[in-house]
Structure 1
Amino acid sequence: MMAASSNRRTVALSFLLCFTFGDICAGTPYIFRGKLKGGFLGTPRHSSNVEPPPEKWLVQRLDHFNHADTNVWKQRYFVNDTFFNSTNPDAPVFLMIGGEGKANSLWMTTGTWIKYAQDFGALCLMLEHRYYGKSHPTVDMGVKHMVYLNSEQALADLAYFRSNMTNVLGLQKRKWIAFGGSYPGSLAAWFRLKYPHLVDGAVATSGPVFAKINFLEYLEVVQDALETTVPGCTEAIQTAVRGVEVNIPQSVGRALLKDIFMLCDEIDERNKNDIANLFSTLAGNFENIVQYNNDNREFEGVADANITIDTVCGMMVNETLGAPMLRYAAVNNLLLKVHNETCQDFKYDKFIKEQQNVTWPEEGGVGERPWMYQTCTEFGWYQSSDYVHHPFGHRFPINFWTQQCVDVFGPNFNMELLQRAVSRTNDDYGGFGIKVTKVVFPNGSIDPWHRMGIVERPGDESHAIFIKGTAHCANMYPASESDPKELVEAREQIKNLIAEWLTE
């Protein structure tokens, strides 16, 4: 979710994928704690016939809950009034909620929500999440300054933005619909929950609403998706992982692994964190593909958009590629190639050093420190290897993930703090028992994050749409001729719900 861990993995989540709009990769894996670098929702490619709107800035309070604190900062937002039917008193306002990556103005011209805006004559707004992109509330990301980064402050930012835009743009009688995907999907639902007088409905796509430290279910969904798509895939992966495990204790074996997996550094078999990160990174190769399988991401320019479960599992069951471990390496090397990486990084200390950097990335590039902070202080959602039946080995257990919080932010960010934080998040928003009206929760059956989301109708006045055969945030992407029937129907159902909310 988020919701989740760019998606390049914290040390552990896998790959190196750099988006093209100023984001910086370094040694962080490209699926980071369940999210791609740059956010769960990727960056679209520029369409030459549609110019994106310019960035705008709003003076925002630093701490919405301490009225004695008068500090302010500037938050970035975007406006697209191309479709706005201002003469129609029923024309709504659509608000796209930014999340754990920089808000890109290109999303103001594409995606399903833009099609809805055309249909309803809506004014489109997008607000960037504090601490991401160019929205820097503090001088740096030191621990003492990160206390203002949490979902509650983000929701209060949305509330003030909504009120301010209403007054500045004369929108007093307009209805507002919030949109978000993954973590912003959660925010969309929570915005409606906490500020129902400010938002008239919400589309909470792939939103993980239940905080959980050990997200065992993630690899359970990955396992099921791989095996049901290509029988024999998980057995081949399991055999390959055993081969890696057998080779690590031997100097000749370690040299072999470095060579066939194109590792950037020598393997130190005594460094448990390096070993954990290596196994997690190799698992992340498959996690990323499952999470976004067959989504219409070609328009984003994502290098691996056309690589699917069929692709990687087809390689794993292809005996002409050699023994299973060689096939496992072939998948890894294919992904390195498509992302223009010369080697696979897996060194834990290098990752920790990167996350300890408190300076803001240049040009609004995406750093992973803020998302790590939120997982360590609100959500957890660590995709550990503790689920029994997955094929990727058990070398990246939950303590590997929670130790990262301590190593990056200090000894106070321990398991005790995390347990309190996760309990508080669920108490605050309701978790799976969320009581909210006029929210639709679309989720894909292949998306591992659906296990932390709402997949059954939570009440008479909210809806869940479980889209068979689709992955993360699939309904938010532009329609494609290859879209399955269930996805086409889901988009239409969402549109009909919006129409209901706007006429009530």
Structure 2
Amino acid sequence: LRDTSIDNLKFLSSRQAIEDIAEFIRQKNEEKEGDQKWIVFGGSYAGNLAAWSRLKHPELIIGAVSSSAPLLAQLDFYGYLQTVDEDFNKHGGLCYQQLVEGFEEARIQFQSAEGRDNLTKLFKIYPPLSHFDDLSTYDIDTFFAYLVAPFTHTAQYNSPSVDDLCQTFTTHGPDYDPLKALRYVNPELTVNANFSHSVDELSGIEFNGDISQRLWTYQTCAEFGFFRSSNRGTNAFGQTQSSNTFIEYCIQLFGINVDQIEKNVESTNAYYGQRDYYAGTNVVFSHGTQDPWAFLTKKDDSKHWSVVIIEVEGGSHTSDIGISCDALPFFCTENMKYVQKLTLENMQRWIDPVFPVPDRVDITDNVGKRPQFFDPNVVPSFSPKIKIPEAVKIRGELLKVSDRYGKISKFTGKGRKVLLPPPIPSEDDVVSESIIQDWIEQTWDHFNMTEDRTFKQKFWFNNKFGSTEGPNFLMIGGEGPEDVYWVQTETLDWIKNAKSVGANVFLLEHRYYGESKLGTNDLQYLTSAQMLYDVATFIRTQQVKQKLTGPWITFGGSYPGALAAWSREWFPELILGAVGSSGPVLAKNDFYEYLEGVEDVIKRHSQKCYDRTNEAFAKLRTLSMEPEGRELISDKFSLSPAWSQDDVIDSLDLNEVFMELFGLYMGTVQYNSLNWSKVANLCAPMEDDKYEDVLDALREVQIAQEGENATTISSFKHDIDYLISMKEYIDGHDSTQFDDDELSDILWTWQTCNEFGYYQTTDYGEG
């Protein structure tokens, strides 16, 4: 190949490299003749190639030694800096304290022109930060990458050791300026924080000099991700390394956007079985406890006895395949000597096997299978352990929508008001004579065979259209209190379908939500798996109690849509089919696609609305870099608490403001009407030329949704305290403090933290 142009880089991949290895071995076998036994070795990415070549070509390779191999491809590799943080936190003392204070002070310095001048002088930044026409987040990330580098290098290679670097870092004592201490361990003559300059340096396609960084950057974009971000909450490095910057490299250098990167990562994991489903045999996997790459290595759950996993205590990246302990024993710990000895013993077994070893193993797992045996023929007990209210007929009522907490919730991703059902259009649409409100006794923990605690779960049913022999429709409740609305309103599509096929209609409230509380503040029993067993128990109970012999179909929208699909997957003997509307069946921590989709909808509706929205948020970012600008933001958007020019703004508080304003678009797009009228109303101020200042237009968008006195929360602590204050009321003992709608926030936040993620970020490059 003549150069490293994009057309030529398509031949650069781990799959091609593995076939190169295989072809090399074949040619050498032909030269040497006879029965040749090959063992492959590698560390880091080459460790992947060693393990994968054994997996793909066991006919050529009898075993592999794979050191510090990141078998799991991952776009947002937050675990790297998490491990670095842990390494220095273990050292503790002044070193870690100074590290935290230094990065925090550097972040604060970026909040004013004077502070940026200070950084320019101290770190000899060239060109000076004051010369940047538009200092971008990519430029800031580039600067912080310089600050991070000595600490990542030490953690990864132990050269110098953590102890030695900390000694250098703190050599001037506790009263020394932490920023100057960071400079002391960053001896670069000059620092170039210009992101565009970095892109230009990697854009050359000729084979001149060291081109390895361009080549490896391409592979991360095209196969692995491995973007080392600080996206892990509170840590020494703060929010200074965004995956966005790495994604932007991929876009500008190779035209690979975040969606393609995600597909590439998924393809790599599927092709090799990733870390947890590696199916090869005769492999030694080793990793060091200090190594940041160990986050992605195979640490447990070998699928065959011939796959040996070894941990090197205090070891760094590939440290076990470096110096031989036999040759230089004084350089090795006893643990390192053991690791190398065990590796040699395994290689000897591969060469002279005592027991036959298959080329690969067939891996079975429980993905898509329920975790507990369930007898669909069990006869439920109707002797309750707790007092269950009598079933009652209820009269349909017109409902009102609460306007409390109407804004989009950054934790739930939903407007709080939409947890309540919409109002019924008229009395004529209400089914009233055949609706029953009832309760079922459920166990607290379906996965504990000795569990004897129970709770009452609320449900409604409507048998107007059905019979004991006919089909049964079950609407599964979700992350909020349920209401008779869903079984009483004949204009609803699923009720019309029930009428068409003669189905009984049921609605089951989700455990913990509404009135279906367990009577505890302990959230460990609030999971989707527990709810799915609630559904199965409910169906079986109704089959016996009401002598229902017809098939069951489950329904749900959003999270309940996922529950509906999963209920059919787990309990096909009970459930004939499922209708899952907008069900997010993929749990995902960094759900960047959400705001990517919002952006796409705005752009498709109106280029002008999109452009001015983009301009508005860009202007907000620019203003947030100056004290005067932050005060202007505070005044214009009625920040609560207000920002003054003297305030130092925490990055989490800044995110809070942006998320509040993003929420204006999120809620509108998520619940847009079929004719797009809600998006049209949203965009109207942005398209109105009378608002010359795009921030005035954005404020008008806010006022249109929230009223003339709309305020913008500017305190992360405010939201956290709001949620924390609910924790002691989850059991429902005092509804005067928080009603069921409000408690939904803490409950769903728990579920996202414990199971799903679904965190709507802007980690998708320029947008």
After superposition, the Cα gap between the structure-2 partners of 1:352 and 1:221, relative to the gap in structure 1 and judged at 3 Å, is: same
Residue 251 of structure 1 deviates from its aligned partner by: 4.4
After superposition, the Cα gap between the structure-2 partners of 1:349 and 1:31, relative to the gap in structure 1 and judged at 3 Å, is: closer
Q: Distance in 1 between matches of 2:480 and 2:418?
A: 4
- Are the equivalent residues in 1 in contact too, given 2:555–2:564 (CA < 8 A)? yes
Which of 519, 523, 536 is 1:138 aligned to? 519
Q: Distance in 1 between matches of 2:627 and 2:721?
A: 27
Which of 541, 553, 561 is 1:177 aligned to? 553
SS at match of 2:712: coil
Which of 701, 708, 715 is 1:331 aligned to? 701
Which of 620, 630, 638 is 1:262 aligned to? 638
Higher mean Cα deviation, 215-224 or 71-80? 215-224
Output the amino acid matched with 1:325.
L
What residue is the counterpart of 2:713 in the other structure?
345
- Are the equivalent residues in 2 in contact too, given 1:78–1:108 (CA < 8 A)? yes
- Are the equivalent residues in 2 in contact too, given 1:177–1:201 (CA < 8 A)? yes
Note the 1:233-248 alignment, pairs <5 A: 233-248=609-624
- Are the equivalent residues in 1 in contact too, given 2:596–2:762 (CA < 8 A)? no
Q: Distance in 2 between matches of 1:94 and 1:39?
A: 23
Which of 348, 355, 362 is 2:723 aligned to? 355
After superposition, the Cα gap between the structure-2 partners of 1:213 and 1:333, relative to the gap in structure 1 and judged at 3 Å, is: same
Q: Distance in 1 between matches of 2:520 and 2:507?
A: 24
Q: Distance in 2 between matches of 1:216 and 1:387?
A: 6
- Are the equivalent residues in 2 in contact too, given 1:294–1:308 (CA < 8 A)? yes
What residue is the counterpart of 1:397 in the other structure?
none
Which of 186, 208, 213 is 2:562 aligned to? 186
Residue 253 of structure 1 deviates from its aligned partner by: 3.2
SS at match of 2:607: coil
Note the 1:320-469 alignment, pairs <5 A: 320-337=690-707, 342-356=710-724, 357-358=726-727, 359-360=729-730, 362=735, 364-367=740-743, 368-390=745-767
1:199-224 Cα deviation digits (max 9, x unpaired): 11110111111111101111221111
SS at match of 2:655: helix
Output the amino acid matched with 1:333.
I
After superposition, the Cα gap between the structure-2 partners of 1:65 and 1:384, relative to the gap in structure 1 and judged at 3 Å, is: same
After superposition, the Cα gap between the structure-2 partners of 1:269 and 1:245, relative to the gap in structure 1 and judged at 3 Å, is: farther
Output the amino acid matched with 1:166.
Q
What residue is the counterpart of 2:119 in the other structure?
none
Q: Does 1:107 align with 2:486?
A: yes
Residue 248 of structure 1 deviates from its aligned partner by: 2.9
After superposition, the Cα gap between the structure-2 partners of 1:41 and 1:381, relative to the gap in structure 1 and judged at 3 Å, is: farther
After superposition, the Cα gap between the structure-2 partners of 1:48 and 1:325, relative to the gap in structure 1 and judged at 3 Å, is: same
Higher relative contact order (CA 8 A, sep 6+): 1
- Are the equivalent residues in 2 in contact too, given 1:178–1:199 (CA < 8 A)? yes
What residue is the counterpart of 1:209 in the other structure?
585
Q: Distance in 2 between matches of 1:21 and 1:168?
A: 35
Is the radius of gyration larger for structure 1 or structure 2? 2
1:241-283 Cα deviation digits (max 9, x unpaired): 1222233344443343233223332035422111101101111
What residue is the counterpart of 2:465 in the other structure?
83
- Are the equivalent residues in 2 in contact too, given 1:214–1:380 (CA < 8 A)? yes
Q: Which runs of 5+ in 2 are unaligned?
A: 1-398
Which of 295, 310, 330 is 2:680 aligned to? 310
Q: Distance in 2 between matches of 1:48 and 1:262?
A: 41
- Are the equivalent residues in 1 in contact too, given 2:638–2:711 (CA < 8 A)? yes
SS at match of 1:57: strand
What residue is the counterpart of 2:361 in the other structure?
none
SS at match of 2:497: helix
What residue is the counterpart of 1:63 in the other structure?
445
- Are the equivalent residues in 1 in contact too, given 2:443–2:452 (CA < 8 A)? yes
Residue 35 of structure 1 deviates from its aligned partner by: 2.4
What residue is the counterpart of 1:160 in the other structure?
537
1:417-445 Cα deviation digits (max 9, x unpaired): xxxxxxxxxxxxxxxxxxxxxxxxxxxxx
What residue is the counterpart of 1:280 in the other structure?
659
Output the amino acid matched with 1:182.
S
What residue is the counterpart of 1:291 in the other structure?
670
Q: Distance in 1 between matches of 2:439 and 2:402?
A: 20
Q: Does 1:36 align with 2:412?
A: no
After superposition, the Cα gap between the structure-2 partners of 1:295 and 1:347, relative to the gap in structure 1 and judged at 3 Å, is: farther
Q: Distance in 1 between matches of 2:669 and 2:567?
A: 29
Which of 120, 141, 149 is 2:501 aligned to? 120
- Are the equivalent residues in 2 in contact too, given 1:162–1:198 (CA < 8 A)? yes
How many residues align structurally?
A: 352
SS at match of 2:405: coil
Q: Distance in 2 between matches of 1:174 and 1:191?
A: 17
Which of 434, 455, 476 is 1:97 aligned to? 476
Residue 232 of structure 1 deviates from its aligned partner by: 2.4
- Are the equivalent residues in 1 in contact too, given 2:639–2:713 (CA < 8 A)? yes
TM-score, scaled to structure 1: 0.65
CA RMSD of the aligned region, Å? 2.4
What residue is the counterpart of 1:25 in the other structure?
405
After superposition, the Cα gap between the structure-2 partners of 1:30 and 1:193, relative to the gap in structure 1 and judged at 3 Å, is: same
- Are the equivalent residues in 2 in contact too, given 1:46–1:106 (CA < 8 A)? no
- Are the equivalent residues in 2 in contact too, given 1:23–1:365 (CA < 8 A)? no
Q: Distance in 2 between matches of 1:324 and 1:348?
A: 26
Residue 332 of structure 1 deviates from its aligned partner by: 1.1
Residue 320 of structure 1 deviates from its aligned partner by: 1.1
TM-score, scaled to structure 2: 0.44
After superposition, the Cα gap between the structure-2 partners of 1:261 and 1:382, relative to the gap in structure 1 and judged at 3 Å, is: same
Output the amino acid matched with 1:174.
G
After superposition, the Cα gap between the structure-2 partners of 1:366 and 1:167, relative to the gap in structure 1 and judged at 3 Å, is: farther
Residue 291 of structure 1 deviates from its aligned partner by: 1.1
1:447-474 Cα deviation digits (max 9, x unpaired): xxxxxxxxxxxxxxxxxxxxxxxxxxxx
Q: Distance in 1 between matches of 2:506 and 2:589?
A: 33
Percent identity reads 33
After superposition, the Cα gap between the structure-2 partners of 1:208 and 1:287, relative to the gap in structure 1 and judged at 3 Å, is: same
Residue 307 of structure 1 deviates from its aligned partner by: 5.6
- Are the equivalent residues in 2 in contact too, given 1:79–1:124 (CA < 8 A)? yes
Q: Does 1:218 align with 2:594?
A: yes
Output the amino acid matched with 2:546.
L
After superposition, the Cα gap between the structure-2 partners of 1:38 and 1:311, relative to the gap in structure 1 and judged at 3 Å, is: closer
Residue 56 of structure 1 deviates from its aligned partner by: 1.7
